[in-house]
Structures are given as structure tokens and as C-alpha cells.
Amino acid sequence: MKKLIIFVIFIYLVLLFSGFSYAQSTQQIDIAYLAGSWGENLAYSLAGSEIVTKYVPEIRSSLVKSAGSEMNTQMAATMAKNSIMYHTTSMDFVASYLGVSPWEEAYPNQRLLTSYTPGALSFIGSVPGAEMKDMVGHSISVLPLPSLQLAFANNVLELLNLTGKVKVVQLDFGANEDALRDGTTSGLLCSVYGPPGYETLSPAMQEVLYALKNKLSWIRVPKEVVAEASKKLKAGFGVREIESGDMLPAETRTNFGQTLTFSALAVRGDMDENIAYNITKAILEHTDEFADYDPNGKFVNPKSIAESLAYATPDMIHPGAVKYYKEAGLWDIYLEARKKFISDVGEYE
């Protein structure tokens, strides 16, 4: 009888411990996905958030619309390591690594998991068919942040000998529509997203510019000027020629350049490696679902994501993500894309 009692107690303790261990291993992790609203594409954040929740049982991701990349990186620096993922642009992400205010506060406490659709910084204005040289005496709006975007705009003007001849003002997106309508400004530098050959204004810009869409056109800047302006940033951004736009007059500007940037998913650098791995795995193995959220999602696939990380040095990518890319045979694709990127536009300094 005594042996039976001891055996029953032993079994009870084993079951109790096993149940405790299972509860610990399946404990729910709540993660906020900061989507951003200043030029970022909300659809991709929503897709990523819902894919993670659907395919990683221990994670519940909640989409939170924030003020934009600057706010996202600063919040990430202050939140618990496993509690946040956030949408940012490659330009803003790299800015923190290069010590550009205000993003430098986030470095080195952030790493990339993925990059999505390519996009660019483009000049758009209310002077029909204008080139940048035609903007003498006019004002152009740039985001009210000391960022690489502002540096890029200033570099373009300097290279075209327009410094002081074109005024750069800093307005929030919400103020741009009125400023363009009443003539306070004649143009702005904005984020544009979509796969190569098909540009789509980001949702935030659509909201601002919809009423003026028939009165706006691209402000042409020679490709070689954009290339040099980007190179002067010492930030390794790509350059490409503009194609037709669906929100602006449908015309191809074969001599109009853009700085190439990407929308990206970042996390804290000290996020648990297994969590980062599982998030990356879920997204990369279900990229077919992006098309359910945005038409451009059909261009997103594991290969395109690996290639679009080319702007990032290996140490900018979270170890958990690196582990998955290597297992999935995508790391070599990234390395080849990185090599070409460095050949085309140079390495960070």
C-alpha cells in the first residue's frame, strides 16, 4: 500500500511538473506592432501582424498606428525586449546607425527581421511639368525632422546650384494639402511605395493629396544628380528612374531619378532569438497572404525579401532572422544582393 501511495504521488508530481512546463512553454506573448502613419504602408504592417498571430501560437500581435518611424524607433528603445515590432523605412532605420538625430537614440537597440516592397523618395509639385531648376522662388516641404530626407533634399539643391533659391520648409503631412492648395508651397518630398515599374503613393500621402491629384506632377531631377545626392549621404541608398504613377499624370520620366528605400520590419536588438526566428519564419513562409491586404503584395516573396535587405549590413539583421534565412537557403541570396548593392552605391562610412 505504501509503495502504491508513493507511486501515485510520484505520478501526480510528474503530471504537475509537466503541466507547469507546458504552461510555461506556451505562455502567451503580447507584441505591439507599431505601423506608423507618416508615409508608411499600413497594409503591410496589418498583414505582418495578422500572419504572426495566425501562425505563431504563442504570440498575439496587435496593430498600433503610431506617428511614424521616428516615434517607433524611440518607443522600441524604451519598451520590454519581447514586446514590440515596428514598421520603419530603410532610410530611417539606417539613419539611427549613422547617428542622425533623432534616430541615433535607438541604435544599437534595434535589428531588422524583413524588408518588404521597394519605395523611393520623390519630389512632387503643383507646377506642371516642372524640373527642379524651374522651382526657383518656390517652396518645397520636407518632413519636420532632422533626417536623411532633409539632407537628401539639401544635397539635390546644392548640386543644382539652387541653395537659397528654392526654400525648404518643414510641414507635417496634414498641413501639406492646404499649403499646396493656397500656394504656400509648390512641392514636397514624399515617400512612394510599390514594386519596380509601378509606383503607388502611400496611404498617408493619398489622404493628403487626393483632392489635388489632378493638379500635381513629378518634379523632374536628373538621375545623375539624385545618384550624387544619395552618395553624399554616405548611406548606400540605391537610385532608380521614375516610372508611371497611378495617382499622378501617367507619364514616364526617363531622366528622373529617385532614392531607393524599403519598408521594413524591425525589433529590439535584444529580442529573444527564438521569438525573432519564429516571427521571421511565419512571415517568410506565408508571403502569399500579403496580396490579400494590398495589390502590391503579389510581388512580395521570400526571394524578394532577402534581396531587399541589401541595404543592411549583416549586423543590422537580428540573429534570429539570420538563422531562418540560412536554414531556408536565403542567406546567400541576401549576400549576393548586398555585394551588388555595395558595387552600385558604396558601403556606409
Q: How far apart are CA 196 and CA 189, in angstroms?
A: 19
91: pLDDT strictly greater than 60: yes
Strands (E) located in the chain: 29-34, 59-64, 84-89, 111-125, 139-142, 167-170, 187-193, 200-201, 217-218, 238-241, 257-267
Q: Which residue has the higher pLDDT, 120 or 167?
A: 167
User: CA 170, 173, 178 angle in degrees (round to 5)?
Assistant: 90
Asked whether residue 202 is assigned to any structural domain, the reply reads yes
Residues 227 and 286 in one domain: no
Same domain? For 160 and 273 the reply is no
Cα–Cα distance measured from residue 39 to residue 281, given in angstroms and rounded to the nearest whole number: 27
Is residue 76 scored above 60 in pLDDT? Answer: yes
Check whether 195 has a pLDDT greater than 70: no
Asked whether the beta carbons of 135 and 162 are under 8 A apart, the reply is: yes
User: 149 and 82, same structural domain?
Assistant: no
Tell which of 227, 259, 291 closes a domain: 259
Residue type at 26 in one-letter notation: T
Whether residue 11 lies inside any domain: the answer is no
* Domain end position, chosen among 215, 241, 259: 259
Q: Examine residue 9 and state whether it is found in any structural domain, yes or no.
A: no
Pairwise pLDDT comparison (213 vs 80), residue with the higher score: 80
CA atoms within 13 A on the CB side of 227: 11
**Is residue 199 in some structural domain?**
yes
- pLDDT of 75 > 70? The answer is yes
Same domain? For 139 and 238 the reply is yes
Residues 95 and 128 in one domain: no
Q: Cell 499624370 identifies what position?
A: 249
Verify that 170 and 233 share a domain, yes or no: yes
- Comparing 212 with 266, the larger pLDDT belongs to 266
Q: Considering the domain boundaries, does residue 1 fall inside one?
A: no
Q: Which of 255-258's residues contact partners 24+ apart within 8 Å by CB, and which partners?
A: 255/220, 255/222, 255/223, 256/218, 256/220, 256/221, 256/222, 256/223, 257/221, 257/222, 257/223, 257/224, 257/225, 257/226, 257/227, 258/120, 258/121, 258/122, 258/192, 258/226
pLDDT at 16 over 70: no
Same domain, 218 and 195: yes
* Structural domain range at position 75: 28-118+262-345
Q: Is residue 4 part of a domain?
A: no
Same domain, 281 and 292: yes
User: In total, how many domains does the chain have?
Assistant: 2
CATH number at residue 323: 3.40.190.10
The Cα–Cα gap between 234 and 271 comes to 29
Q: Kindly state whether residues 276 and 252 are assigned to the same domain.
A: no
Shared domain for 250 and 125, answered yes or no, is: yes
Q: How confident is the model at residue 243 (pLDDT cuts 50, 70, 90)?
A: low
Residue 177 sits in the same domain as residue 294: no
Per-residue model confidence as pLDDT tens digits over 319-329: 999 999 999 99
Q: Which residue has the higher pLDDT, 92 or 157?
A: 157
Q: ω before 102 within 30° of 0 (cis)?
A: yes
Asked if residue 146 and residue 48 are part of one domain, the reply reads: no
Query: Is 2 a domain residue?
Result: no
pLDDT at 18 over 50: no
Q: Which of 226, 259, 292 is the last residue of a domain?
A: 259
Q: In terms of Cα–Cα distance, which of 293, 228, 250 is closest to 54?
A: 293
More confident: 69 or 340: 340
Report how far residue 347's alpha carbon sits from residue 345's, in angstroms, rounded to the nearest whole number: 7
In a 13 Å sphere around the CA of 173, the CA atoms on its Cβ side amount to 19
For residue 339, the model assigns a pLDDT of: 93
State pTM to two decimals.
0.81
Residue 16 covered by a domain? no
Task: Give the pLDDT confidence of 49-73 residue by residue, as tens digits.
Answer: 999 999 999 999 999 888 777 778 8
Over 50: is that where the pLDDT of 291 sits?
yes
